Structure 1
Amino acid sequence: MSTDTSTTPALHELGAHALLQAYRERSLSPVEVTEAVIRQIECWEPALCATWLFRPEQALDQARASEARWLKGQPQGLLDGVPGTLKDNIATAGDPTPLGSAAVSLVPAAADAPPAARLKEAGAVIVSKTTMPDYGMLSSGLSTFHPLSRNPWDLSKGPGGSSAGAGAAAAAGYGPLHVGTDIGGSLRLPAGWCGIYSLKPSLGRIPIDPPFTGRAAGPMTRTVADSALMMATLSLPDARDTMSLPYQDIAWDQFDQGVDKLRGLRIGLLLDAGCGLPVEPEIRAAIERAAALFEQAGARVEPLAPFMTQAMLDGMDHYWRMRSHLDLSALPAAQADRVLPYIRQWADSAAGFDGPHVFNASQQFHLTRLAAVKACSAFDYVISPTSPMPAFAAELPSPTNDPLHGLEHIGFTVPFNMSEQPAASINCGYTQSGLPIGLQIAGARFDDLGVLQVSRAFELIRDAQRPWPQPPET
């Protein structure tokens, strides 16, 4: 099983659909592809630091087993032989789950978490796990456990977070399939800042363990097609998620309805989150350009007034501070001292909150949900910036670098976690300095396939994309 690489794209650049077709035709082997992905990772990693538990030999063992299945004409599942990665916080049996923090005890996990189990059952080659910040509580790659992750488009910038390594890995060509998680924007923010695609599904669409209000796992890929393919596997049922939706046999392979999908759609254009940092001019211009492309394709785009408030954002922030404060307070002092100081300061600021304050803060989750559903109900889909600014300095924990104002950049993303609506980020342009700009596409609750279809339509009409970044010369 070999190929003439002079007439085909680099193997690490190929999407999952192309790889699977090549495996069926026996023009490519999963071993060749995995070897190419390993070489790409080895070229990038000294600068990017996106991986954890990068184990080439284990990956090659998986690839050899996949090759044997394909040679027999008996692939194991939808993703057999396709390289992928899993975020640090998605447990894999026998491996510790550090959650990005030096404060976490490295105890081997007893079992694969649902997304890991589904990828393995489908035959995917797990090349590596990917990095995240302490406890996933930052939109950056800053961690006390992992080396500092960076953005392949500009190594002075961060990839975003908390699915930091996954976003960087997808943009850098570490294979086509990556899984991250999201509770306030942690799939979409790194997707937007790294120029890739990600879908935060409806709450419960992809089983996850442990479940939590607003928490979702999702695909992070270079193309809509690869995310749709992953959804067919990741959305399979798992009883461990007590918040999961009843399983639906959704026609994920119908993600491509062409540009006609947009004709007649009523689309809300949200340019002001109503809270947090203002949208920078370059970001606004790119979103307005995307809106114009939707209109040219036959959609009706209408302005949507902001529905979030600063009180909603602050309330969620204060509730999460108290949750983290209690968690950290339960640690032995020596362990707590290992937590990133920025997160310690953020969490400990809740020490003086009284019961009524925390209760009122907790109510902002529900108020956010009500506001989001009501505002979006007049539209088929809502588009907005994924974030109000492009990628920021890699060394910073947040755009403001202020733990008491650390969530000012999630005003566009967090409401859709709380409303349980599917929301994606897709690249829609670049800043003058060449950084990607993410467009968020949100749909009604349970309309995950529709969001994929609208995303694919936009993928077809958006302006020309720049080449993916290449590893620095050594």
Structure 2
Amino acid sequence: MAAPAAGSDALHALGVPQLVEGFRRRDFSPVEVAEAVLGHVELWERHLQALYLLQPERVMAQARESEARWLHGQPLGPLDGVPVTIKDNIATRGDPTPLGTAACELVPAAADAPPAARLREAGAVFLAKTTMPDYGMLSSGLSSFHALARNPWDLACTPGGSSAGAGAAAAAGYGPLHLGTDIGGSLRLPAGWCGIFTLKPSLGRIPIDPPYTGRAAGPMTRTVADAAWAMQVLSLPDARDSMSLPFQDIAWTDIERGPALLRGLRIGLLLDAGCGLPVDAEVREAVQAAARLFEQAGAHVEPMAPFLRPEMLDGMDHFWRMRSHMDLQALPRARRAAVLPYIRAWADSAAGMTGEAVFRAASRFHETRVATVAACAPYDLVLSPVSPGPAAPAEWASPTNDPMRPLEHIAFTVPFNMSEQPAASINCGYTAGGLPIGLQIAGRRFDDLGVLRISRAFELLRGPQRPWPSPPTPAAQTLD
């Protein structure tokens, strides 16, 4: 395991509101913060492999521009000078977007994707892009293009995925804000396995390009407050997302309602997803302990019956296999051969599917949506594990490490992509070996602010957490 974290007053470890207040008061500058973050990254990065396109000179140039704006009292927005990372698959102007695979041609992006554009407009300092697996189709940091990403809580373990580098970077303290994406759990799984917070928002709350069913971008942070500050910027409108929600001027930072907010709420407790991997005993116990805290705060918690059936999860899996098979078949032979063998085996298993089989597989998305909405209707929110077990070995492509059983760990997360409901991951405990355990908090559709408020209430209820991991010491490195 990693050594205990350094003091939380270090500049690299400050949260967004603390940074912004420090800039305003001139206690420190964006340049000093950027230098501190870069120094901390240098200690960690060769162990974690979380970043892509880290260019310190570009980081410092942005920090100096932000410093000048603050000195003139003219910050661009609520994130001016705040270091951020952005997942590989979210385009940033002038940078290639490899999608985690060696099969992609490295062509500079012509424009920022919507979430990156909003961050740039708000004055955020782009630290780097973060690593991901091939095409975002794995819950790990295994990639044919990027180096293998690892979990800072235990370097032998995966950070999860597909927002792999973002999860590792947040837990390791590469600044306060990291932007990832999620179509079946790719924000929440790494958040759960890395002990951080994330919000997968309602579909369309954060405009994204390209948009498609279930896909959402979201902040990955150490605290709920940091995510709330990010939502002020990320939720601004962008016409490129044909599935985006009408813009609402939401008071995103109004999250301090306290545990009294939970009094009288009706909460469903889902401990059996209905399919997929069985829930590990330590995960079950941690989620049950979290539910008891909600009860002690005055909420009414009741067990939920499972609602996701194996044929639903299998159908979604098989549809995604066919989509990926078609994408890979469109590549020249040499580029197709560069894709991870696990991904190729998974995708090519769909080669013999009939039109009828593809149609039946596609119908499972809507079926999952209907079942999820119906199951959640009696409740104000639903609590569940994020994943059935803790982080798997770093070298594994998925918790089963079997391309014919690739999605058995997402049965708790994928339903809320299909139902378009906001769902957060927040740490609720640790295994005997010290690995974090994620609690999923799913709310009513469109009530993203409500999920943030409830997550903040739980953040207060759960009490102090273990120190964040810090870089391995030289002595520890000799034992590897």
Which range, TM-score by smaller chain? over 0.9
Q: Quick check: 1:85–1:128 contact (8 Å CA) kept in 2?
A: yes
Matched, 1:31 2:27: no
Give the letter for the 2:402 counterpart. D
Q: Quick check: 2:23–2:70 contact (8 Å CA) kept in 1?
A: yes
Q: Secondary structure at the match of 1:171?
A: helix
Shift of 1:253: 1.5
Q: Secondary structure at the match of 2:129?
A: strand
Q: Quick check: 1:428–1:463 contact (8 Å CA) kept in 2?
A: no
Gaps of 5+ in 1: 1-5
Q: Cα deviations across residues 399-426 of structure 1 (Å, max 9, x unaligned)?
A: 1111010100000000000000000000
Structure 2 equivalent of residue 117 of structure 1:
117
Q: Cα deviations across residues 287-312 of structure 1 (Å, max 9, x unaligned)?
A: 00000000001111011111101100
Task: Determine the C-alpha separation between the residues in 2 that align with 1:451 and 1:286.
Answer: 20
Q: Quick check: 1:51–1:129 contact (8 Å CA) kept in 2?
A: yes
Matched, 1:76 2:96: no
Q: Secondary structure at the match of 2:80?
A: coil
Structure 2 equivalent of residue 268 of structure 1:
268
Matched, 1:11 2:11: yes
Equivalent positions of 1:46-125 (< 5 A) are 46-125=46-125
Task: Determine the C-alpha separation between the residues in 2 that align with 1:28 and 1:300.
Answer: 46
Aligned residues: 469
Task: Determine the C-alpha separation between the residues in 2 that align with 1:148 and 1:381.
Answer: 36
Q: Quick check: 1:114–1:208 contact (8 Å CA) kept in 2?
A: yes
Structure 2 equivalent of residue 139 of structure 1:
139
Structure 2 equivalent of residue 44 of structure 1:
44
Q: Secondary structure at the match of 2:458?
A: helix
Structure 2 equivalent of residue 413 of structure 1:
413
Q: Secondary structure at the match of 1:373?
A: helix
Q: Secondary structure at the match of 2:151?
A: coil
Shift of 1:473: 1.6
Give the letter for the 2:399 counterpart. P
Q: Secondary structure at the match of 2:139?
A: coil
Q: Quick check: 1:31–1:60 contact (8 Å CA) kept in 2?
A: yes
Q: Quick check: 1:188–1:425 contact (8 Å CA) kept in 2?
A: yes
Task: Determine the C-alpha separation between the residues in 1 that align with 2:209 and 2:25.
Answer: 37
Equivalent positions of 1:389-408 (< 5 A) are 389-408=389-408
Give the letter for the 1:427 counterpart. N
Task: Determine the C-alpha separation between the residues in 1 that align with 2:255 and 2:374.
Answer: 27
Q: Secondary structure at the match of 1:220?
A: strand
Task: Determine the C-alpha separation between the residues in 1 that align with 2:149 and 2:82.
Answer: 24
Shift of 1:464: 2.7
Give the letter for the 2:189 counterpart. L
Computed over aligned residues only, the root mean square deviation of the Cα atoms, in angstroms, reads: 0.9
Q: Secondary structure at the match of 1:433?
A: coil
Q: Cα deviations across residues 329-350 of structure 1 (Å, max 9, x unaligned)?
A: 0100000000000000000000
Task: Determine the C-alpha separation between the residues in 2 that align with 1:108 and 1:84.
Answer: 20
Task: Determine the C-alpha separation between the residues in 2 that align with 1:256 and 1:132.
Answer: 33
TM-score (norm 1): 0.98
Divergent runs of 4+, >4 A = none
Task: Determine the C-alpha separation between the residues in 1 that align with 2:126 and 2:172.
Answer: 16
Task: Determine the C-alpha separation between the residues in 2 that align with 1:209 and 1:255.
Answer: 28
Give the letter for the 1:124 counterpart. A
Q: Cα deviations across residues 140-199 of structure 1 (Å, max 9, x unaligned)?
A: 000000000000000000000000000000000000010000000000000000000000
Q: Cα deviations across residues 192-232 of structure 1 (Å, max 9, x unaligned)?
A: 00000000000000000000100000000000000001011
Give the letter for the 1:372 counterpart. T
Q: Secondary structure at the match of 1:253?
A: coil
Task: Determine the C-alpha separation between the residues in 2 that align with 1:433 and 1:67.
Answer: 43
Q: Cα deviations across residues 123-154 of structure 1 (Å, max 9, x unaligned)?
A: 11111110000000000000000000000000
Alpha carbons of 1:361 and 1:10: their partners in 2 closer, same or farther (altered >3 Å)? same
Q: Quick check: 1:138–1:397 contact (8 Å CA) kept in 2?
A: yes
Give the letter for the 2:57 counterpart. E
Structure 2 equivalent of residue 3 of structure 1:
none
Task: Determine the C-alpha separation between the residues in 2 that align with 1:331 and 1:256.
Answer: 50
Structure 1 equivalent of residue 473 of structure 2:
473
Alpha carbons of 1:8 and 1:167: their partners in 2 closer, same or farther (altered >3 Å)? closer
Q: Secondary structure at the match of 1:405?
A: coil
Give the letter for the 2:167 counterpart. G
Structure 2 equivalent of residue 234 of structure 1:
234
Task: Determine the C-alpha separation between the residues in 2 that align with 1:75 and 1:329.
Answer: 48
Task: Determine the C-alpha separation between the residues in 2 that align with 1:255 and 1:91.
Answer: 30
Q: Quick check: 1:429–1:463 contact (8 Å CA) kept in 2?
A: no
Matched, 1:306 2:306: yes
Q: Quick check: 2:8–2:14 contact (8 Å CA) kept in 1?
A: no
Give the letter for the 2:130 counterpart. T
Task: Determine the C-alpha separation between the residues in 1 that align with 2:83 and 2:382.
Answer: 33
Matched, 1:287 2:325: no
Shift of 1:8: 7.6
Gaps of 5+ in 2: 1-5, 475-480
Structure 1 equivalent of residue 333 of structure 2:
333
Q: Quick check: 2:280–2:388 contact (8 Å CA) kept in 1?
A: yes
Task: Determine the C-alpha separation between the residues in 2 that align with 1:8 and 1:284.
Answer: 30
Structure 2 equivalent of residue 441 of structure 1:
441
Matched, 1:190 2:190: yes
Give the letter for the 2:67 counterpart. E
Shift of 1:386: 0.3
Shift of 1:394: 0.2
Give the letter for the 1:224 counterpart. V
Shift of 1:463: 3.9
Q: Quick check: 1:54–1:129 contact (8 Å CA) kept in 2?
A: yes
Task: Determine the C-alpha separation between the residues in 2 that align with 1:44 and 1:223.
Answer: 21
Give the letter for the 1:247 counterpart. F
Q: Secondary structure at the match of 1:382?
A: strand
TM-score (norm 2): 0.97
Q: Cα deviations across residues 231-289 of structure 1 (Å, max 9, x unaligned)?
A: 11000000000000000111102122111111111110000000100000000000000
Task: Determine the C-alpha separation between the residues in 2 that align with 1:8 and 1:222.
Answer: 12
Task: Determine the C-alpha separation between the residues in 1 that align with 2:59 and 2:92.
Answer: 14
Q: Percent identity?
A: 72
Q: Secondary structure at the match of 1:97?
A: coil
Structure 2 equivalent of residue 317 of structure 1:
317
Structure 1 equivalent of residue 376 of structure 2:
376
Structure 2 equivalent of residue 297 of structure 1:
297
Q: Cα deviations across residues 49-83 of structure 1 (Å, max 9, x unaligned)?
A: 00000111111111111111111111110100011
Q: Secondary structure at the match of 1:66?
A: helix
Alpha carbons of 1:8 and 1:306: their partners in 2 closer, same or farther (altered >3 Å)? closer
Shift of 1:7: 9.7
Give the letter for the 1:279 counterpart. V
Q: Secondary structure at the match of 1:68?
A: helix
Task: Determine the C-alpha separation between the residues in 1 that align with 2:437 and 2:170.
Answer: 16
Give the letter for the 2:66 counterpart. S
Structure 2 equivalent of residue 216 of structure 1:
216
Task: Determine the C-alpha separation between the residues in 2 that align with 1:175 and 1:342.
Answer: 33
Structure 1 equivalent of residue 478 of structure 2:
none
